[in-house]
A and B are shown apart, each in its own frame.
Chain A
């Protein structure tokens, strides 16, 4: 029990955990844990940094452009796949440690999703140009040759019809 309390004390210093670990209270409500309003003064910024477990000089709130998240921090984006696979993560399936602040779009950058922070072998421009080159070749060939089709050397089929003579049964000379 003493270790739980000391964990709470240390966490409170780090991330402002308000005693939830040792209280059997009525649960965790969104109104208690949602981000606060966008911080404007340096004191608000420092308090928000402390709340999220970040240093004040590395804390940057999400931009306040109408689709922001209040004082939730704007964390550097490192996808799960880009993180060290040999480090002893607390949650290896997410490559994340306990109490590590989570990026705003975290669910998009898990191990089974997009790796946004990878070092590409070919740049996006090169990939796009290669794709356009291949598609231009195929589509161009289609457009050029669709009216000039190649076929086996065949004559048109000789169907019977009124008055049509395809063969006169003459003896060869």
Chain B
């Protein structure tokens, strides 16, 4: 336990690194000549850049596996095709009713012309 990630030594090491980064961040952010090095504005944050690049390139890490195939089937293919089939069934039933004369003139679909 003395060397694990939750040990006192690890906590102290993390705190020291964090304090150093914080000190440098304050110095850079308050540096009035930062524009002179050609890069002014928001201080470049490599962690943020890595996150943005990860999100932008998420498709590069996609791989067809059983899990992703199931997700694709049940969230994309089934809703689209299922909704289409339901619509077709409803419309066919209504058309059958109309063609066999079961729908009154007052219940017709398009009334306003």
A positions within 8 Å CB-CB of B: 1, 3-4, 7, 10-11, 14-15, 17, 20-22, 24, 28, 30, 32-35, 52-53, 55, 57-58, 65-70, 72, 90, 97-102, 104, 106
Chain B binding surface SS class: helix
Contact with A along B1-44 (1 / 0, CB 8 A): 00111000010011001101110110110000000011100011
In contact, A34 and B47 (Cβ under 8 angstroms): no
How long is the Cα–Cα vector from A10 to B20 in the complex, in angstroms?
A: 9
**What residues of B have a CB within 8 angstroms of the CB of A72 in the complex?**
50, 54
**What residues of A have a CB within 8 angstroms of the CB of B47 in the complex?**
15, 52-53, 99-102
B101 within 8 A of A: no
**What residues of A have a CB within 8 angstroms of the CB of B21 in the complex?**
11, 14, 97-99
Partner of A35 from the list B3, B22, B25, B61 (CB cut-off 8 Å) is B61
**What residues of A have a CB within 8 angstroms of the CB of B113 in the complex?**
none
Q: From known contacts A21-B44, A35-B61, A57-B5, infer whether A52 and B67 are also in contact, taking CB-CB under 8 Å.
A: no
How long is the Cα–Cα vector from A48 to B67 in the complex, in angstroms?
A: 26
In contact, A1 and B37 (Cβ under 8 angstroms): yes
In contact, B44 and A65 (Cβ under 8 angstroms): no
Partner of A55 from the list B10, B22, B45, B53 (CB cut-off 8 Å) is B10
How long is the Cα–Cα vector from A28 to B53 in the complex, in angstroms?
A: 10
In contact, A102 and B48 (Cβ under 8 angstroms): yes
